[in-house]
Structure 1
Amino acid sequence: MFVISRALQGVGAANTVPTAMALIAINYPAGPERTKAFSVFGAFGGLGAVVGILMAGGLISSIGWQWIFRVSSFAAYFLLFLGFLVIPLTPPKSEKPKIDYFGAITATVGVTGIVYYISTGVEYGWASPKTLPVFIVGLLLVVSFVYIESKVDSPLMPLRVWKNKTFVASVALAFVQMAMFQGVIYYVNMVFQEVYGWTTIKTALGFLVHSLLAIVVFTILGRVLPRLPLKPIILTGFLLRCGTALMFSFVNEHTSYWRLSFPALIIHVFGVGFSMLPLQITAARDADNKDQGLVGAIYNTGLQLGGPFGVAILNVISISTNDNNDGAIDGGAALMKGYRNSFYGIIALGVFGFILAMIILPWDKPNRPTKKVVEETKDLEAGAPQGMEEMSTIDEQELDASKIESDGSTVASHN
């Protein structure tokens, strides 16, 4: 039942997140307006990720873990009703869309096999008949998926979107940053319960500063990001998150919560906000309107895969370390040796993300139109009536899509 429910949850995420990003792109013209909308969207996504941790801890300690799922279902039904009221219906297309069944099957089963191998390899052995064949089949299916996408008429993932190196870097960084996020949350939780010996409710209260501060930080970032350069913020975010993992690596059963854990969680909130929100803007802003849903889907897939891959790899590090200790370790502060190495693994992920962002991501500002938008604007001006000639003097660096409206022609409609 859990496996089936998790699969349905993935289907739900695939239907909602990319569609929401596409709706934003369609309803807001390229430039500051779209950037601001994506900033608000990303801020609420980040809030959900961190506030859910606090809520889950409180529910587990009070009325039971089952209510985590019940409360989530209530929220989903409420959003279903709200979406029915506010999201406009679009007329059905005359042409029935083609579905890439082979691509969907090979991608899903292939990635699942790879995750299974990483998750169970430390228990059964990396060359075990229970794990290695699954891994090989998974790799072959992923390769088959790429080949299928290059041949079919209506691919599930058109390969053209990967020609934009900024988008490629954004998806890779989404994978890395979610692996770091889930890794920090998981191992901080283990430190609180195993090393400190805290109860579930006390652990939830330990995360309280993380959740409450996230509400403030993410809300502010949603308003100011459209006016700031994104790349320096993303780089700073990865450095802050590395600092969080480094601070937790020094924690032991005698370390005060207020001396290391408390400030580390505060730093983590800023690190997540500085990296997660700008990355989402960077991934979607340069894509064509027709590809916004696709771009959102791929970006969301990077996030969804980053979590399980990250935790699986970090678990391999932790379990392998603790199994090498003398004597059996059932729990307690002795587990910190493996947790510490996992925090080192999180630092390595952060360093990789920092280097990738430094090399590939552009240094431009979010409120500056992309080269593509500027070129399209020039094309509009070249064929525009006399009344638009004075607009040619506008500086390209300060060009706003909303300023070139004339006779119903805008950059957004031109796209």
Structure 2
Amino acid sequence: MTHRAALTLALLALSQLITSLDYFIVYVALPDIGQDLGFSAQSLQWVASAYAVAYGGFLLLGGRAADLLGHRRMFVAATALFAFSSLAGGLAESQTLLVAARAVQGLGGALLFPATLALVNTRFAEGPARNRALGVWSGAGASGLALGSLLGGLLTGAWGWQAVFYVNVPLAGIAIAGAYLLIPADGPRTRGRRFDLPGAVLATAGVSLLAFALIQGPESGWTSPPILGGAVLAAVLLAAFVVVERRGDDALMPLRLFGNRSLRSAIAVILVFGVTFNALPYFLTVYFRTVLGYGAVATGLAFLVPALLIALGTQLGGRLAGRIGMRSTLLIGTAGGAVGAALVAFGVSADGSYANVLPGIVIMGIGQGLTWTGMWIAAATGVAGREQGVASGMASTALQVGSALGLAVLVAAGGVGAATGAALATGLRTAVFLSALGMLLGAAVALTFARERAAEPALVSVEEL
């Protein structure tokens, strides 16, 4: 790999770290935010939910925009938007301004994620080069999910909750400067390709409403008029979206991409990953802070071990995918994650300790890293460069919908929302057990991938061709 290719990969990994950190960095700061700005227990969740709804709703749009407008253009614009909204969040002195800033952050993240992944998939040739590049990129992303809790605790404890927003600004500035220095400029737009406005409106509105219903359902009640109405309208809009995409010549989400077996199976694995692996940091945060009584800094430090192990797993995943194939890599990752999650559940109790859940965290962290890398390699396999953005948008939308669905279902199944004391510990144990069962479903999905022959060991980047 050339020096320039290595620097480009480091830049794209930094961008992925920025967006993945922000997903969980706010969780640990929520109690301080609520106390400072006067949020009620019900309204406080919108500091997290506003980001999640906007992020989930605009991912498909972000993916297609990256393909049509240019991957570097969207990378720079989205990073700038993310930085601006982060600064606004840190400066916010009212509930309305903070929630609005979080929604714009979600939009920026939704535009940035597909552009970043598309750049990885187009700058590195399919095969060992891309597998290893995705291993590095995945390491930043998967570790960021755990490091978010760590940094959230440290920053909040040292400088207050505003620091979890301000930290994004200099990182984004570095990413923008690096993009102009390392990533070649996009060429002119391809003639004949146009933007699917009806599809964009239907998909964005439909997925946003679905995310809203899943996120707000446990708090408002699944039978409340806003939740039922939102869910029904989401189903209608998404059904109309499918009809429009079938008839469109330049669709927002070309349905023929589902004919790609690797992408189709990858989306299924990614959906399961969101339901299971992605929900666990929330339950571990509740366990550490509420059951074990950890403060913000101690809770952050408790996530250091899983962060390191997830990073290790992502690197192993990139190498294993080239040697034993995606099918076996994903099978090992999901099955290992299930074993680890079950061990974590056995260790959760009202009078438990960090040591009781540590063995499960070790196994689960490595399994999560293996799965994370493998599923993104699979999602990019066999997809043309000019459609990597929309394929990334499809896959990341599945991840976001799965995350919202998993958290809603597991919170309700475990009765975690209103429980306290021993009942809360029991509910957390139930939720983690159910996530372990869900990971076994992911292992079953992994079996649908075609058997592969090991790839040649050569490492070739697009820049070296």
**Paired residue for 1:300?**
396
State which of 361, 364, 377 in structure 2 corresponds to 1:268: 364
Label 1:322 to 1:27 Cα distance change in 2 as closer, same or farther (>3 A). Answer: closer
Label 1:93 to 1:49 Cα distance change in 2 as closer, same or farther (>3 A). Answer: same
State which of 250, 254, 259 in structure 2 corresponds to 1:154: 250
- Matched-pair contact (CA < 8 Å) for 1:38–1:280: yes
State which of 355, 362, 365 in structure 1 corresponds to 2:444: 355
**Paired residue for 1:197?**
293
Instruction: Give the drift of 1:175.
Output: 1.8
**Paired residue for 2:354?**
257
Separation in structure 2 between the aligned mates of residue 46 and residue 181 of structure 1, nearest angstrom: 10
- Matched-pair contact (CA < 8 Å) for 1:171–1:283: yes
The reply on whether 1:49 has 2:138 as its aligned counterpart is: no
State which of 76, 79, 82 in structure 1 corresponds to 2:178: 82
Q: CA RMSD in A?
A: 2.7
Label 1:80 to 1:401 Cα distance change in 2 as closer, same or farther (>3 A). Answer: closer
Give the secondary structure class of the aligned counterpart of 1:234: helix
State which of 228, 233, 245 in structure 2 corresponds to 1:137: 233
Separation in structure 1 between the aligned mates of residue 429 and residue 154 of structure 2, nearest angstrom: 27
- Matched-pair contact (CA < 8 Å) for 1:103–1:155: yes
Separation in structure 2 between the aligned mates of residue 283 and residue 302 of structure 1, nearest angstrom: 11
Label 1:48 to 1:238 Cα distance change in 2 as closer, same or farther (>3 A). Answer: same
- Matched-pair contact (CA < 8 Å) for 1:113–1:135: yes
Provide the identity percentage. Answer: 28
Instruction: Give the drift of 1:222.
Output: 4.0
- Matched-pair contact (CA < 8 Å) for 1:192–1:203: yes
Give the secondary structure class of the aligned counterpart of 1:88: coil
Give the secondary structure class of the aligned counterpart of 2:146: helix
Separation in structure 2 between the aligned mates of residue 301 and residue 322 of structure 1, nearest angstrom: 26
- Matched-pair contact (CA < 8 Å) for 2:267–2:394: yes
Give the secondary structure class of the aligned counterpart of 1:130: helix
- Matched-pair contact (CA < 8 Å) for 2:323–2:454: yes
CA-to-aligned-CA distance 1:123-147 (integer Å, 9 cap, x gap): 4443332321221111101111111
Label 1:253 to 1:85 Cα distance change in 2 as closer, same or farther (>3 A). Answer: same
Instruction: Give the drift of 1:340.
Output: 2.0
- Matched-pair contact (CA < 8 Å) for 2:317–2:371: no
Instruction: Give the drift of 1:310.
Output: 1.7
Map 1:370-409; keep pairs closer than 5 Å: none
When you count helix as a share of all residues, which structure comes out higher? 2
Q: Tell me the amino acid that sits aligned with residue 143 of structure 1.
A: A
Q: Tell me the amino acid that sits aligned with residue 384 of structure 2.
A: D
**Paired residue for 1:341?**
430
Instruction: Give the drift of 1:48.
Output: 2.4
**Paired residue for 1:386?**
none
Separation in structure 2 between the aligned mates of residue 17 and residue 47 of structure 1, nearest angstrom: 16
Instruction: Give the drift of 1:225.
Output: 4.1
Structure of greater Rg = 1
| Count of equivalent residues | 366
CA-to-aligned-CA distance 1:296-352 (integer Å, 9 cap, x gap): 221222223222222122222233x776xxxxx5x3343112212211321232121
- Matched-pair contact (CA < 8 Å) for 2:214–2:404: no
Label 1:237 to 1:125 Cα distance change in 2 as closer, same or farther (>3 A). Answer: same
Map 1:232-243; keep pairs closer than 5 Å: 232-243=328-339
Label 1:56 to 1:110 Cα distance change in 2 as closer, same or farther (>3 A). Answer: same
Separation in structure 1 between the aligned mates of residue 126 and residue 351 of structure 2, nearest angstrom: 53
- Matched-pair contact (CA < 8 Å) for 2:413–2:430: yes
Separation in structure 1 between the aligned mates of residue 444 and residue 319 of structure 2, nearest angstrom: 27
Return 5+ residue gaps in structure 2 as ranges: 1-96
The reply on whether 1:72 has 2:168 as its aligned counterpart is: yes
Q: Which moves more between the two structures, 206-215 or 221-230?
A: 221-230
CA-to-aligned-CA distance 1:66-98 (integer Å, 9 cap, x gap): 211110222112111111111111232363852
Q: Tell me the amino acid that sits aligned with residue 86 of structure 1.
A: L
Separation in structure 1 between the aligned mates of residue 386 and residue 429 of structure 2, nearest angstrom: 45
- Matched-pair contact (CA < 8 Å) for 1:322–1:338: no
Map 1:13-52; keep pairs closer than 5 Å: 13-52=109-148
TM-score, with length taken from structure 2 = 0.72
- Matched-pair contact (CA < 8 Å) for 1:176–1:349: yes
Separation in structure 1 between the aligned mates of residue 98 and residue 203 of structure 2, nearest angstrom: 21
Label 1:220 to 1:268 Cα distance change in 2 as closer, same or farther (>3 A). Answer: same
